[in-house]
Amino acid sequence: MLAYVVRRIAYGVVVVAGVLLLLFVLFFAVTDPNDIARRALGDKVPPDVIEQWKANHGYDKPLWPWQAADNLLFDHFRRMVTFDFGRSDADDAPIVDRIRRGIGPSLVLSVPMFAAGLLLGVVLALFVAFFRETYIDAAGVFVCVLAMSISILLYIIGAQYVVAKLLHWFPISGFDPAPDVVARFLAMPVLVGVLTGFGGDVRFYRTVFVEETSRDYVRTARAKGCGEGRIMLWHVLKNGMIPILTRVVLAIPFLFTGSLLLESFFGIPGLGSITVDAINGNDFSTLRTMVFIFSLLFVVGQIAVDVSYSLVDPRVRLE
């Protein structure tokens, strides 16, 4: 297994390096340091100030290694590999500080959303699997497909309009980490996050549970007089956990990266929101850091899924 993990890590390094190279090429294909400087300093600054800013941020260097030994591409990789993320192009703030500040709001949104989504998905899937081939099952399919078909933007705008504006249940947007008010800000994004995800989850988990209910051990349990409730909650749920675990383990690393759209629309200053701001503000140094972190977490998540498989199911061997 160790050899497998080492091999996967090596693949992961190549993937992350490729992502960083692609990011560099794409970013500098559509913009150049003058544009970044203009965005940071505004339109009214004289050219000397632009040049000084570029020098201060290292953007006065040539882009490619064949142009000069001390080049922007080398600097880009060096910074990422050494975790020296530097300062934001938009406002000179240390990027590490920003990540440190953003991770809290991202987690307070993503963890409850993840937990509630998982709980609701499993419970509803068990419920519709229990009532399979009845109209409750059919209604479940209808609701799930409907939920999956609607864009998250519609959920967000609809929730803000109906739940917040018309019904006055929760604030339309915003965030305050104070313990007495934080829940009211999180209620609606969590609700929207759960609604957007539950359709796919329920359909997937239902398939797993229905497949399990047709297995021999379920028939045996039933023959031995085991109640349907116990069969579903004890035997089927436990054996259906392997595919569920795959989804869960893969999702865990991304709890840290936040949700781009939810954070942005609901005004939650998490890592997702920072990423959207970096895209909108031509903030290359922040954007590359966030993409680097995303790609690292993705690779880690993939390896974790494989390892977790072998841990929970002895039949799976990693070669």
Partner 1 sequence: MRGGRISAAAGILAAVATAACTNNPYPDRDAELPILYVAFREAPKTLDPAKAYTTVATQFNGNIYDRLLEYHFLKRPYTLIPALAAEVPSAVPLPDGRVAYDFELRPDLLFQDDPCFALGGDGRATRQVTAQDVVFQLQRVADPALASPVITAFGNIEGLLGFFERLGALREEDPGLAELPIRDQYARAGPIEGLVVEGDTRLRVILSAPYPQILYWFAMPFSAPVPWEAIDYYDGQEGRPHFADHPVGTGPYKMTYYDKQARVVLEANPNWYGVRHPEWKAPGATYPSEGMPEDAELGRLDPELVGQPLPFIQRIDFRREKESIPRFNKFLQGYYDMSRIIKESFDSVIHEDDLSPAMRAMGVRLETLVEPSVFYIGFNMEDDVVGAGGGARSRKLRQAMSLTIDSAEFVKLFYNGRGVPAQSPLPPGIFGYDPEYRNPYRQVDLERAAALLVEAGYPGGLDPATGKPLSLTFDTMDTSARGALVDQYLVDRWRLIGIDVQVAATNYNQFQEKVRKGAYQIFEWGWIADYPDPENFMFLLWSEMRRSRNEGPNSANFSDPRFDALFVKMKSRDNDAERLRLIREMRALLEEERPWIETFHREDYVLFHGWLRGVKPTGLSFPTVKYRKLDLALRESRRVEWNEPITWPAYGLAAVAVAVVLPGVFTFFRERQ
Per CB under 8 A, residues contacting partner 1 are 30-32, 34-35, 38, 40-42, 44-49, 52-53, 56, 90-94, 98, 101-102, 105, 131, 134-136, 139, 160, 164-176, 178, 180-181, 183-185, 264-265, 267, 269, 273-274, 277
* Least CB distance to partner 1 at residue 251 (A): 25
Residue type for position 212: E
Q: Is 257 buried (19+), middle (13-18) or exposed (0-12) by CB count in 10 A?
A: buried
CB of 8 to partner 1, least distance (A): 35
Torsion of CA 183, 185, 186, 192, to 10 degrees: 140
Output 132 or 247, the one with its CB closest to partner 1.
132
* Shorter beta-carbon distance to partner 1: residue 89 or 201: 89
Q: What would the two tokens of residue 54 be? A: 């570029």
**Residue of 210, 211, 219, 218 whose CA lies nearest to 235:** 218
Q: How far is the CB of 10 from partner 1 (least distance, A)?
A: 37
Q: Which of 24, 45, 69 is nearest to 291 (CA)?
A: 24
What is the smallest separation between the CB atom of 223 and partner 1, expressed in angstroms? 16
Find the shortest distance in angstroms from Cβ 84 to partner 1.
Answer: 14
Residue 171 vs 243, nearer CB to partner 1: 171
Q: Is the Cα torsion angle 102, 179, 195, 164 positive or negative in sign?
A: negative
According to DSSP, residue 225 is labeled T
Count, residues in the chain: 319
Query: Which two three-digit tokens encode residue 136?
Result: 């409750």
Q: Which is nearer to partner 1, 182 or 250 (CB)?
A: 182
37 or 252: CB nearest partner 1 = 37
